[in-house]
Amino acid sequence: MSDVEPDPMKRTLFVTLIGVLIAIGATLIVPAALGRDIRPRLALFLQVKLLVSTFNVVLLVALAYNYVRVYRDLPNPFTLSLVVFTISLLLYALTSNPLAAIVFGFRPQVSIGAFTFLPDLFATVAVVVLLYQSYR
């Protein structure tokens, strides 16, 4: 039996596609929970933030799984630091997600326009690169 790993690019694209689909699904379902009295422009920024941060959560879960698997095979301080780093990014993505505010009974407020989701967008690029590198 051959124990050949799939191409890293294909694995990264597959996980990214799954993340996009989950994020789009969450973005289409959650706006009803935000209420109708939110200004349309504010709702748009919240939906973009919801999309990007949900996408980050999905990718970071995949990345954390991969790093934990690597740590089990190669337990050393470097791989442990990768696990801790990924979990901290995952906690950031979870708490920055507008869903977190809704779950805990708060109404998400956004007042700084595109700067609401730009940090999450930059984090997304970093996570995709880390995910690709972890599959190599």
- Alpha-carbon distance of 132 to 72, in angstroms, equals 19
75-98 pLDDT, tens digit each: 988 888 888 888 888 888 888 887
Mean pLDDT of the chain: 79
The more confident residue out of 93 and 37 is 93
Q: At residue 125, does pLDDT exceed 80?
A: yes
Mean pLDDT in residue range 38-50: 69
Q: At residue 122, does pLDDT exceed 60?
A: yes
Choose the weakest-confidence range: 1-5, 8-12, 82-86: 1-5
Q: What is the pTM of this model?
A: 0.74
Q: Can you give the pLDDT at residue 1?
A: 45
Task: Write the DSSP assignment of the chain as a string of letters.
Answer: ---PPPPHHHHHHHHHHHHHHHHHHHHHHTHHHH-S-S-HHHHHHHHHHHHHHHHHHHHHHHHHHHHHHHHHHS-SHHHHHHHHHHHHHHHHHHHHSHHHHHHTTPPP---SGGGGTHHHHHHHHHHHHHHHHHH-
17-33 pLDDT, tens digit each: 998 898 888 877 776 66
108-120 pLDDT, tens digit each: 665 666 666 777 8
**Closest by CA position to 38, among listed 122, 101, 129, 123:** 101
